[in-house]
Chain A
Amino acid sequence: MNPENYVLCARNLHKSFAGKEILHDVSVAVGKGETKVLIGPSGGGKSTFLQCLNFLIHPDQGDVFLDGRKINSANKRELYDLRQQVGMIFQDFNLFDHLTAEGNVSIALRKVKGMSKKDAHARAIHELDRVGLSRRADHYPAQLSGGQKQRVAIARALAMDPKVILLDEPTSALDPELVGEVVAVIRKLAAGGMPMLLATHQMDFAQALATEIIFMEKGRIIEQGVPEALLAPGARTRTQDFCLSLNQMGNQNSMQLCCHSQAAPSPSAPEE
């Protein structure tokens, strides 16, 4: 893949922790308007990979390109610029507990972008409005539900005008009834053409949004392709096996969507 054609591109990333290989030669590229979805078993390296893309974890080997330009992560200025332009959403939100929703969104605008307090405030309110939380601007994280916290985190990332957003299992820490509101915001982003790289266990979500599904296991990319191909009826892919095993664990929501087009439903599929 030629990095010049993509917004964000990772080439041949390797990472080991204490002698254990977490990532083995992983390359992924996200282009304009693309949503690439990382799926695979827990511990497969998805989260590590995403964090290598903005050097929250430094890869042992391999390169990251933003807009075709190779990032030299040893250069602090270049590193901080990259992180500004690559939004990141975490499973546990990682909101700043001592700041209101508005403060969470505006602080980096002030400290990193050097905006005035007034401008940063206006921008923060605008972004909170986009995720439907302008009325919660004065609430502290401890006063918000999980879904609201994650939406604040999304607003915080969007306020930096990122070129691409990395989402690390954004709905995994949420109560089931709160997943919908976060998914809705992410769908809206995707529809607006924001390039995204999303790690998730929610297959319905993956299938609906993905321009490409990337299946990772044991630190390697096992399969990748458009959802129609990987999840086609009768396609004997690892992705589909994984999908079915999720079903058997009783994840009915993802099962129905995952299998809705399949000729032979899994034995555990409920009757409508």
Chain B
Amino acid sequence: MQGSFFPYSIMIEAFSEFFANLGDNLLLLVKLLPVLLKGSGITVIVVAGAMLFGLTFGLPLSVVQVYGPKPLRWLVSIYVWFFRGTPILVLLYLIFFGLFWMLNFHFNEILAVILIMGMTSTAYQSQIFRGSLQSIPAGQLKGARSLGMSDFQAIRSIILPQALRISIPGWSNEYSIILKDSALAYAVGCKEIMSYAKGLAIANGNLALAIYILAGIIYLIITIIGLWGLRRLQRKIRIPGYSHA
């Protein structure tokens, strides 16, 4: 490993040290756990904020992209292309450091992360909803129109309730991706799980690996709680007689 950038030897040393004093180290880890959990509160806020942001704006965008006039569809496509094609980290630096550098404006870290991840999630969620909207048989829109419903009424009370049900699996997927992406927030000083983990790892070098593993486990737990909740929701609003969705 000579000349390698990554300090393998230090990691291996730390790892063996961890097991050499397993009892003491586990005790220390347990003491550090509340700090990490404090970060997980911020992570949950960031993820929930970004998901809700994406839902609020992604849903209308998907409706525009499926039912709207051509020029608006193109605008949505451009938005989606931009935010799906630009790394979240780049956007975070732009809005956080860029704004500070240009306008001396200090963005609240949490808000900045929610805004950027929300805008990115808007792009992804709009595509989840678009697929769902398109999967509802066109005949139902015809049926609604034939009763005198406006397109707005038909989409709102006939198409969307079904499309949203179908969207839950895709939404679960988006949730688990956003949760992990939220770890990027530490790069702008947002005090979430990863940022605390990094701080603790530096202060307790011999425990670094264990701390990161602990952080990973917390992510896994938050993931499974969210997915479990969404699956329950999916079961609860399932349309009787349908084996899926």
- A142 to B140: give the CA distance in the assembly, Å: 14
- A129 to B71: give the CA distance in the assembly, Å: 48
Do A98 and B162 touch (CB < 8 A)?
A: yes
CB distance from A166 to the nearest CB of B (A): 9
CB distance from B138 to the nearest CB of A (A): 9
Given contacts A141-B241, A142-B240, contact A108 B147 (CB under 8 A): yes
Among candidates B139, B165, B240, B241, residue contacting A90 with C-beta atoms closer than 8 Å: B139
Do A83 and B148 touch (CB < 8 A)?
A: yes
Given contacts A92-B139, A94-B142, A98-B165, contact A80 B150 (CB under 8 A): yes
Do B158 and A112 touch (CB < 8 A)?
A: no
Instruction: List chain A residues, Cβ under 8 A from B241.
Output: 139-143
Do A84 and B148 touch (CB < 8 A)?
A: yes
Among candidates A56, A87, A142, residue contacting B142 with C-beta atoms closer than 8 Å: A56
Do A97 and B146 touch (CB < 8 A)?
A: no
Q: Is A54 an interface residue (CB 8 A)?
A: yes
Instruction: List chain A residues, Cβ under 8 A from B145.
Output: 56, 83
CB distance from A85 to the nearest CB of B (A): 8
- A108 to B241: give the CA distance in the assembly, Å: 23
Among candidates B140, B142, B143, B149, residue contacting A112 with C-beta atoms closer than 8 Å: B149
Do A156 and B147 touch (CB < 8 A)?
A: yes
Among candidates A81, A95, A140, A143, residue contacting B148 with C-beta atoms closer than 8 Å: A81
Given contacts A111-B157, A140-B239, contact A54 B146 (CB under 8 A): yes
Instruction: List chain A residues, Cβ under 8 A from B146.
Output: 54, 56, 83, 86-88, 90, 94, 157
Do B240 and A143 touch (CB < 8 A)?
A: yes
Given contacts A94-B142, A98-B161, A98-B162, contact A142 B239 (CB under 8 A): yes
CB distance from B167 to the nearest CB of A (A): 13
Among candidates A76, A84, A140, residue contacting B147 with C-beta atoms closer than 8 Å: A84
Q: Is A107 an interface residue (CB 8 A)?
A: yes
Most chain B C-beta atoms within 10 Å of own C-beta, residue among A51, A83, A141, A157? A83
Q: Is A160 an interface residue (CB 8 A)?
A: yes
A-B contact count (CB 8 A): 81
Given contacts A98-B239, A142-B240, A142-B241, contact A80 B140 (CB under 8 A): no
Do B240 and A76 touch (CB < 8 A)?
A: no
Instruction: List chain A residues, Cβ under 8 A from B158.
Output: 96, 98, 107
Instruction: List chain B residues, Cβ under 8 A from A157.
Output: 146-147
Among candidates B143, B150, B153, B165, residue contacting A96 with C-beta atoms closer than 8 Å: B143
Instruction: List chain A residues, Cβ under 8 A from B157.
Output: 107, 111
Secondary structure call for the B interface: helix
Interface size class of B (residues with CB under 8 A): 20 to 34
Most chain A C-beta atoms within 10 Å of own C-beta, residue among B142, B143, B241? B143
Instruction: List chain A residues, Cβ under 8 A from B137.
Output: 92, 94
Given contacts A56-B142, A90-B142, A107-B157, contact A97 B239 (CB under 8 A): yes
Q: Is B144 an interface residue (CB 8 A)?
A: yes
Instruction: List chain B residues, Cβ under 8 A from A107.
Output: 157-158
Among candidates B149, B153, B242, residue contacting A142 with C-beta atoms closer than 8 Å: B242
Do A111 and B143 touch (CB < 8 A)?
A: no
Instruction: List chain B residues, Cβ under 8 A from A54.
Output: 146
Do B147 and A90 touch (CB < 8 A)?
A: no
Most chain B C-beta atoms within 10 Å of own C-beta, residue among A96, A143, A157? A96
Do B139 and A111 touch (CB < 8 A)?
A: no
Instruction: List chain A residues, Cβ under 8 A from B162.
Output: 96-98
Do A76 and B148 touch (CB < 8 A)?
A: no
> What is the chain A residue whose CB lies nearest that of B164?
A98
CB distance from B150 to the nearest CB of A (A): 6
Among candidates B143, B144, B149, B240, residue contacting A140 with C-beta atoms closer than 8 Å: B240
Instruction: List chain B residues, Cβ under 8 A from A92.
Output: 137, 139
* 22 A-B interface contacts by CB (under 8 A): A54-B146, A56-B145, A56-B146, A80-B150, A81-B148, A86-B146, A90-B139, A90-B143, A93-B143, A94-B137, A94-B139, A94-B146, A96-B140, A97-B239, A97-B242, A98-B239, A107-B157, A108-B149, A111-B157, A112-B149, A143-B241, A157-B147
Known: A111-B149, A143-B240. 12 other contacts (CB 8 A): A51-B142, A83-B145, A88-B143, A93-B143, A94-B137, A94-B146, A95-B143, A112-B149, A140-B240, A142-B239, A142-B242, A153-B143
Closest 7 CB pairs of A and B: A142-B241, A94-B143, A84-B148, A108-B147, A94-B139, A88-B146, A143-B241
